[in-house]
Structure 1
Amino acid sequence: MTDNVAMAASPQHPAESDAHATWAERLLHPRYALRVFCAALLIVYALVPLGVYATSLERTEHLTLALITVLAVAAMVMGSKFPYFDKQMKRSSTRLVVDQTAFIAVTWTVFLLFVLVTVVTAPSIPIVSALQGADPNTLSEERGDFLKRREGAGIALLYISTFLVNTVVPYTLVLLYARQARLRHAAAATFFMYCISFMQKALFLNLVLPLLVLLAIRSRLRGKTLSLALVFSTVVLFGATALSVADGPDASSQPGNYLSAQYEPTGPLDYFIWRAVAVPTFTATDSLVVHRDQFGGHSLHGATSNLLSWIFNLERVNIERFVFEHQFGSWNEIANANAVFTTDAYVNFGWLGVVVFGIAVGMLFRLFRRSDDVGIESLWPLFAFSLFSGPFIGTLLSNGFIYVVFHALFVRVKPAQRRRLTPDANDTACP
């Protein structure tokens, strides 16, 4: 990849004017990232809860969630106007220059060694068990054993996986495709196989979404391409869902409220739709219920974060597991009910926290938009996806996006300069 590719993706060198962008490019180009994310938040966490509250008036948490979301969106828009990182984002800024080929080689050497160690030491491979007809309970146990239940030094594999899979490996895959590297398809296939190996259903989107953004940046993403990618992703997600969930509830069971954990899907398709449409909304409202009922509605001052609880000497509160217990009636050491980042901001720091975290998120979306590194730009959907169902601090630390911010500001990955064998006609002779 030449420097022209990165420049073409930068704000100073837009790939195409807004008037000529396709609907697919408007959906995925970094220029429109914050608009898309805010629209998704408003639909799922404001309009839906408001609709529920208007029809029932039973749970004020729906109204609270809607207000939190609107405030967070306003704060994000405000934060996106702050030029705090702009000076460091300029191409003339001082950064650590790293050879692109070496960076990719080191990343993939570490990743392949990690995959080898993980697979060899795993008690079983969930995807293999699923294809052999294992029941959902068995698959759930195997998914936990694959990474989450590791003990001793083995627990490091979980953190290594999260860091590599969410940030660094997708970044290198974008670089490989941007430079049309010979092994790009093999690398993508390897990453895809790892992502589906332990039945983390949506993990393969860490491959698909950045590559679609790359096409959008290069003004090559058309509606047909995006539609095919959506169909492919839906088929894979539904296939993984069909392998890992039961056929349906007992005939004698009573269906619960659709917007609650008590709802029992009638089959894989119903589960797939319910999981995508209803679960994010009611998990956010359930988080507010747990915060009110079990913690008195008092701000937790960062206790839900490992880092902040350590810094401020607070007792760690794993609120995601409290929410899971509230939803399903039992405590589970590996099961978390993760909610959108705005609820985490609210339960920790109240309304002020929603504003501060919203501003910070808006500033980081500006960073993605103004980066001159096509690999960094292409990671914005993964950042948004993580925030959509997880805390801001956890997204930065546990999912590795603190490194992405550091990389965007202080590292420049450049291809090696090719040495010319003959002098250029325009060269001036040395005196």
Structure 2
Amino acid sequence: MLGQLSSARLAPYYLAGVIFAYYGLVPAVVQAVWGIDAYYWKLATVATTAAVSIVAGFHIPVFDRLVGGVRPIVLPARVAAFGVWGAFVVLVFVILATADNIPFLNALSGASTAQDLIVQRQDFLAARQGWEAALPYLNVMFMGSIIPYALAVMFVNMHRLRWIALPLVMAYSLLALEKILLVKVLTPLFILAMQRRVWNAAILVLMSVLTLGLFYLTTYLSRGETSSEEMAFAEAMSHASPAAQAASGFSVATYFSTDYRPSGAIDLLIWRSIAVPIFTAADALKVIDTELDNQLQFGATSTFLAPLAKIVTGRDKINFDAMVYTYQWGSHLGRANSAYFNEASVNFGWPGVVGFSLIIGLCLRLFSRSPDPAFAALWPLFCWNVFQAGLIGTLLSNGFLLVFAFMLFVRLEETAAEPSPRVRRQS
């Protein structure tokens, strides 16, 4: 039962259903009952269009003949593994050697305030300058898809180093207090465990408890030693408006806004999981209208496409996520990501929403038709990325385009001394 429920064949229906319910139905109900923001209606309409288009794209067989039908490039498995893990080890060494502070260690010592941790998390990777500016992009590419895929391959093939690689990658994922990195590392393994390809029930339960514990720990530590008021939202608390700081009591309108003040780590986690993505997506649509005059950007929001967009429009690259964050919090410290359909909308309008959604459906079809269980187990990561961020960044910055190309055009050749590549079931 769990194996069927975790199958990539159901991925488009999961994603479309969640997008419709989360970004479509909830905003429509909230707006109809409480009348918070008229842009909630637009968000519901865009999300519904996106959900329908994802399912439609999944049923288009345009890339089917590429799966197993292309003569692949043959690489020795040992060479490929050495290349991936060797490059990752070098990257981690350079990141740690050039870092001024390690946020996790500082938070664990209790010597840093919430504001200190915000700055330290920015400095750890995002705020790098000069040649070091390439490090956050490489880190996102490896941790976004390449390392989760490499770990999944190790566990599927029962590689003898798998229980060494996993805890080391988990430890590294905690250093910047970025909980999502831990989730990305473990999600493909949980999918494979649900399909009974790796682990047994006891190990699955143990890893689940450990993951929840680490998730809570990083949420708690990211607040630092602060007052109860500062605990509300550590990444933007110092920029809250006076009216927001004075607010008390509970209301739906306040809950779906930056004025809400969580009472602790659990409340903060729930609020950021339920309300923040919804009102951020609505705010992104508002920014398109009010600050960009509803002018299409034609890829100017993407680092990779901005040079081409400048040729078309003559406009420079814009940091759309930073614009939304500034609109919400009045700060330039962070970025407010929202679902892929907002990226599509700001760049290409309604045709972009439909086109990006069709592409996502096609990608999910590749997951469902792949004979590689490690690759197929990446579908939740892909869905999560487009659910709360852009499609362009998912394919390029997060490395999924490389993983797709690897699956379609490369075949690993095992030597006699290496584990069998066939899928093994662990009892």
Amino acid corresponding to residue 267 of structure 1 in structure 2: G
- Deviations 1:2-44, CA, capped at 9 Å, x for gaps: xxxxxxxxxxxxxxxxxxxx2x334432122222222221221
Cα separation, 2, equivalents of 1:248 and 1:230: 30
Q: How many residues in Structure 1 have an aligned counterpart in Structure 2?
A: 394
Distance 1:166 1:58, change over 3 A: closer
Aligned equivalents of 2:32, 2:205: Cα separation in 1: 35
| Structure 1 contact 27–36 (Cα < 8 Å) conserved | no
CA contact (8 A) 1:248 1:265 kept: no
Alignment-derived partner of residue 328 in structure 2: 327
Q: Give the fraction of aligned pairs with identical amino acids, expressed as a percent.
A: 32
Q: Does 1:294 align with 2:287?
A: no
Displacement of 1:347 in angstroms is 1.9
Aligned residue number for residue 407 of structure 2? 408
Q: Is the 8 A contact 2:297 2:309 kept in 1?
A: no
Task: Report Cα offsets for 1:199-246 as digits up to 9, x if no partner.
Answer: 112211122101112223446789987666554433222211111124
Contact 2:3 2:196 (C-alpha < 8 Å) held by counterparts: no
TM-score w.r.t. the length of structure 2 is 0.87
CA distance in 1, matches of 2:189, 2:269: 24
- Partner deviation per Cα, 1:355-375 (whole Å, 9 max, x = no partner): 100000000000111112222
Quote the Cα distance in structure 1 between the aligned partners of 2:353 and 2:404.
21
Counterparts of 1:415 and 1:364, CA distance in 2: 27
Bigger mean CA offset, 134-143 vs 254-263:
254-263
Residues 102-130 of structure 1: CA distance to partner in whole angstroms, max 9, x if unpaired? 21122111111211121111101111101
Instruction: Compute the TM-score of the two structures, normalised by the length of structure 1.
Output: 0.86
Q: Equivalences for 1:20-419 in 2 at 5 Å?
A: 22=1, 24-90=2-68, 92-133=69-110, 134-218=112-196, 229-245=207-223, 246=226, 248-249=228-229, 253-255=246-248, 257-313=254-310, 314-332=315-333, 335-417=334-416
Aligned-partner SS, 2:405: helix
Inter-CA distance 387–223: structure 2 relative to 1 (3 Å threshold): farther
Higher-Rg structure is 1
Measured at CA, do residues 267 and 303 of structure 1 come closer, stay the same or move farther in structure 2, by a change above 3 Å?
Answer: same
Question: Which is further off, 320-329 or 291-300?
Answer: 291-300
Aligned to 1:316, the other structure's residue is in SS state: coil
- Return the alpha-carbon distance in structure 1 between the equivalents of residues 404 and 198 of structure 2: 27
Consecutive unaligned residues of structure 2, counting only runs of 5 or more, are 233-244, 419-427
Instruction: Name 1:15's counterpart in structure 2.
Output: none
| AA matched with 1:207 | V
The 1:303/1:397 distance shift into structure 2, 3 A limit, reads same
Asked if the contact 2:156/2:198 (under 8 Å) is kept, the reply is no
- Determine if contact 1:123/1:145 at 8 Å carries over to the other structure: yes
Q: Give distance in 2, aligned partners of 1:317 and 1:290.
A: 12
Structure 1: gaps (5+ residues): 1-21, 420-431
Instruction: Please report how far the alpha carbon of residue 262 of structure 1 lies from its aligned counterpart in structure 2 after TM superposition.
Output: 1.7
2-structure distance, mates of 1:272, 1:55: 25
| Aligned CA-pair RMSD | 2.2
Distance 1:49 1:223 in 2: 38
- Counterpart CA distance in 2 for 1:341 and 1:305 is 12
Rate the CA distance shift 1:241–1:58 in 2: closer, same or farther, 3 A: closer
Cα pair 2:247 2:259 within 8 Å, conserved: no
Residue 239 of structure 2 corresponds to: none
Deviation track 1:271-312 (CA, whole Å, cap 9, x = no partner) reads 111011111111100101111111122322222112222113
Residue aligned with 2:371, SS: coil
1:37–1:384 contact (8 Å) kept in structure 2:
yes
SS in structure 2 opposite 1:158? helix
Which is further off, 238-247 or 63-72? 238-247
